[in-house]
Amino acid sequence: MEMGDKAVGLVLTMTSLSIFTYYTFWVIILPFVDDDHFVHQYFLPQEYAIFIPVFAGVVLLSFLSIFIGLVMLKSKKKKDA
């Protein structure tokens, strides 16, 4: 089982590193590259560089709020019974 955990950790680390590298290149380096350069075809428009993280943050906070609310409701029901 230990080898499986290491494999999952490696996959998660590589995925996070890839996303970080892609996003960093997209936001920091790409604005200084000419608009007609071929590398622009691999990236979304700059507006999405703000929209995607904000949307992901709102979704994450929503799920966390729902989870905490459900735990609090179950805790209260358990306390009353």
pLDDT in tens, 10-36: 999 999 999 999 999 999 999 999 989
Dist. CA 79–CA 1, nearest whole Å: 38
Both structure tokens of 35: 């608009």
pTM, full prediction:
0.70
Average predicted confidence (pLDDT) for the chain:
92
- The contacts of residue 19 (CB under 8 Å, 6+ apart) are none
Q: What angle do CA 19, 21, 22 make, to 5 degrees?
A: 65
Residue 11 dihedral angles phi and psi, to the nearest 5°: -65, -45
